[in-house]
Structure 1
Amino acid sequence: MEWTYSQPVKLIFGTGKVESLDKIFAGFGLKNGLLVSDPVFVKNGLASKVSDYSRGALIEVFSDITPNPTVTNVDDCARLIREKNIEFVAALGGGSSLDCAKAACSVCRTPYSVVEFHSGKRKFEKDFIPLIAIPTTSGTGSEVTPVAVLSDPERGVKAPLVSDNFFPMCAIIDAALTLTVPSAITASTGMDVLSHALEGFWSKNHQPICDAMALHSARLVFEYLLPAYLDAGNLEAREKMSEASVMAGLAFGLPKTAGSHACSFPLTSVYHIPHGEACAFTLDAFTRINAEAENGRLHGFARMLGFTDAYGMADSILEMKRAMNMKITLADAGIPEEKLEELARLSQHPNMLNNPVAMDLESILKMYRSLKEKSR
């Protein structure tokens, strides 16, 4: 085996750390910044509070971002950065604001639309402004990855855009910011964490350091996701899920995700299932599919987590989804039988090539059909 590992993001982890933003920014010599925020935090006052914590370092706020950030969101953000001569960006929120900010920090240094890069016509030069990531959910891991998932409605595409430019300079992981997350989002983002951990482990590109992080993250999810879901104010569970999220981000950042994420893109863009829940929709199925791959290494992973084998772990994933009232069957997801072939075709995303078991159109279709009759 040959592998390399690098992680350029400085991590600052701890409850209440966001209150020291001014000192963190000053330590990096940052000023004249833009706060890119999910719209909900402008409405509930958190964006204003974060700006106040910066003691004047954040001079503008951009919040025109949809739940699945679009190329238009990125271009609008980049335009504001240019117009206001912004020197750095702080992104507050879930994957939407972080992904929008990541791309905008590079697009702003070009005369082009992000569509030029998202479509593959152009590649980014190594020219960008610094980004500080402040996640408010325990889910995407976007704060430690070079990936931005963007939608282009005109082309009918939702796909990742990858560049080393997108690594934040620093990520501030403060579990206190997750305490107000609704239970449904806790479930969806939490299962996204588990998807990142498992897919990073079984990806064809897996490597030992990321494997260890995947194991650590998955152990935390299986222990703390349900407590966080059932009691929003459980700070210990929230802190552990924040830890799981960042560790899962490190676990998949280099190996990249595989089958469940490949399927999640059409499940979100066509059937409007939230990203994390869309990943979870096929996660137990892919756990079974991949159980015997590479001499059954997934069985060893599952046993280290206390399961009898990978199939027992798949059963537990299904039970977690059921306990959190997530979509389990095709009927739950609103997917008609006659649309399965189209869904299987759309699921042939490049991430599927990372799956340790080769998945052609027929095997993807078989996998979806296996989700037809699971009882609640």
Structure 2
Amino acid sequence: MLWDYQQPVAIRFGNGRVREIKDVAAEMGLTEGGLLVSERLFAKNGTAERIVKDSEGAISEIFSEFSPNPDVTEVDKAAALIREKNLKFVVAMGGGSAMDLAKSAASIALTNDSIADYHGTGKAMPQEHLPIIAVPTTAGTGSEVTCVSVLTNRALGKKAPIVSDGFFPSVAIIDPELTYSVPPHVTASTGMDVLSQAIEGYWSKGHQPICDACAIHAAPLVFKYLPIAVAEPDNAEARQKMCEASVIAGLAFTLPKTTSSHACSFPLTNIHGIAHGEACGLTLDWFARINADAQHGRVQEFARAIGFEDVGAMADAIHELKAKVGLRTGLKDLGLSAEQIDDLVRISRHPNLYNNPVEITDEMLRDMYEHLAATD
């Protein structure tokens, strides 16, 4: 077996560490010219302004005019601001949307191009980029330690990841206190994304031992602590453990890449507006059963390693977890037509699908979607 491992992101983990942004920037020689990419919530509630004030002049601009599942046009606007103000580094504070936009903008700003030129086109991203300090506010995407930026081109109806080594943040600051205000449904959805990343990273065709170990560490934390974090938003232990699971799941899937559940999540989100993590979890137990005996028993070994008798028991637990935290277990309420199911099958043939250890046919996808369409 041949494999490589790379993790260039310095990680700072712990309560209150968001106050270290100024110190981190200074250590990189960055005392001015910072852009804070922040979700609208933090711009409205004063958190973004506090971060700017605490930076003591290092951060001078805020960009928050972007949507969930950020559009390529929004990346271009952030890049234009960087060029106009001659900014020197980017702080990404928020969930996956803030991270995805910040990564792409920090690279594309050093060109005269549109990010659309690189989105789903196969054109390689330029490697030069501004330094990024990533500050996640959800226990979910793991984007603070990955080289992936997932963007949407609404004009073309396309959502796809861009992968570039230039997207790795320089430093990730994981402060569990920032997750306390996250609403229960967002906590549940992003937590299910963590579980999907860990499991898919393990069974991906690109699996390797260090990432496997991270997956085995992260997955049990989600099963144990996600229901507590949803039910008790101020539970310090649950919030900290979910943040731990999130960053370690990010390490688990960055190099192997995700697989079938993530491939299917893209049309479920783009067409039907289902939150990304919830969309991933919707099919995760189904694919667990499909992949149960793949890779000479590795998937069964994974299920046992995280405390289950076998993959069937793990799949049952995934289904029970979704129900317990209030996430979808079916699509019956959408009243999907045969034509809509055909669309889901067609658009699920995303490159991530080919990382799955078992070949997924259109017939398998159709069986799954027809089952989900008849299930509450």
Give the equivalent residue in structure 2 for 1:74: 75
| Residue 171 (str. 1) matches residue 151 (str. 2) | no
- Give per-residue Cα distances to partners, 1:209-265, cap 9 Å, x unaligned: 000000100011111111001000001100000000000000000000000000000
Give the equivalent residue in structure 2 for 1:15: 15
TM-score (norm 2): 0.97
Give the equivalent residue in structure 2 for 1:202: 203
Does structure 2 conserve the Cα–Cα contact (< 8 Å) formed by 1:69 and 1:150?
A: yes
Q: Matches of 1:226 and 1:131 in 2, distance apart?
A: 32
Secondary structure of residue in 1 paired with 2:141: coil
Deviates more, 1:20-29 or 1:273-282: 20-29
1:195-344 paired onto structure 2 within 5 Å: 195-333=196-334, 335-344=336-345
Give the equivalent residue in structure 2 for 1:157: 158
Q: Matches of 2:27 and 2:280 in 1, distance apart?
A: 38
Q: Which amino acid aligns with 1:28?
A: M
Q: Matches of 1:316 and 1:223 in 2, distance apart?
A: 11
Q: Matches of 1:273 and 1:251 in 2, distance apart?
A: 24
Residue 373 (structure 1) shift: 4.2
Q: Which amino acid aligns with 1:72?
A: T
- Give per-residue Cα distances to partners, 1:67-117, cap 9 Å, x unaligned: 110001100000000000000000010000110000001100111111111
Secondary structure of residue in 2 paired with 1:112: coil
Secondary structure of residue in 2 paired with 1:370: helix
Q: Matches of 1:316 and 1:372 in 2, distance apart?
A: 21
Does structure 2 conserve the Cα–Cα contact (< 8 Å) formed by 1:36 and 1:92?
A: yes
Residue 8 (structure 1) shift: 0.4
- Let me know the Cα RMSD of the aligned residues: 1.2
Q: Matches of 2:122 and 2:254 in 1, distance apart?
A: 24
Q: Matches of 1:122 and 1:299 in 2, distance apart?
A: 38
Does structure 1 conserve the Cα–Cα contact (< 8 Å) formed by 2:334 and 2:373?
A: no
| % identical equivalent positions | 53
Q: Which amino acid aligns with 1:246?
A: V
Distance 1:332 1:247, change over 3 A: farther
Distance 1:302 1:122, change over 3 A: closer
Give the equivalent residue in structure 2 for 1:46: 47
Give the equivalent residue in structure 1 for 2:361: 360
Alignment coverage as a number of residue pairs: 375
Residue 371 (structure 1) shift: 2.3
Does structure 1 conserve the Cα–Cα contact (< 8 Å) formed by 2:149 and 2:163?
A: yes
Does structure 1 conserve the Cα–Cα contact (< 8 Å) formed by 2:336 and 2:373?
A: no
| Residue 5 (str. 1) matches residue 9 (str. 2) | no
Residue 288 (structure 1) shift: 0.7
1:30-45 paired onto structure 2 within 5 Å: 30=30, 31-45=32-46
Residue 54 (structure 1) shift: 1.1
Q: Matches of 2:309 and 2:221 in 1, distance apart?
A: 18
Does structure 2 conserve the Cα–Cα contact (< 8 Å) formed by 1:20 and 1:53?
A: no
Residue 342 (structure 1) shift: 1.4
- Give per-residue Cα distances to partners, 1:169-215, cap 9 Å, x unaligned: 01000000000000000000000000000000000110000000001
Q: Matches of 2:14 and 2:34 in 1, distance apart?
A: 23
Deviates more, 1:89-98 or 1:292-301: 292-301
Q: Matches of 1:20 and 1:134 in 2, distance apart?
A: 11
Does structure 2 conserve the Cα–Cα contact (< 8 Å) formed by 1:139 and 1:245?
A: yes
Residue 374 (structure 1) shift: 4.3
Give ranges in structure 1 of 5+ residues lacking alignment. Answer: none
Does structure 2 conserve the Cα–Cα contact (< 8 Å) formed by 1:33 and 1:87?
A: yes
- Give per-residue Cα distances to partners, 1:241-292, cap 9 Å, x unaligned: 0000000000000000000000000000000001010101101101111111
TM-score (norm 1): 0.97
Give ranges in structure 2 of 5+ residues lacking alignment. Answer: none
Does structure 1 conserve the Cα–Cα contact (< 8 Å) formed by 2:206 and 2:256?
A: yes
- Give per-residue Cα distances to partners, 1:17-56, cap 9 Å, x unaligned: 0112222211121131000001111011111111122111
- Give per-residue Cα distances to partners, 1:114-153, cap 9 Å, x unaligned: 1111142632222111110000000001011110000001
Moved over 6 A (4+): none
Q: Matches of 1:134 and 1:314 in 2, distance apart?
A: 32
Residue 298 (structure 1) shift: 1.2
Give the equivalent residue in structure 2 for 1:180: 181
Q: Matches of 2:9 and 2:27 in 1, distance apart?
A: 15
Does structure 2 conserve the Cα–Cα contact (< 8 Å) formed by 1:93 and 1:136?
A: yes
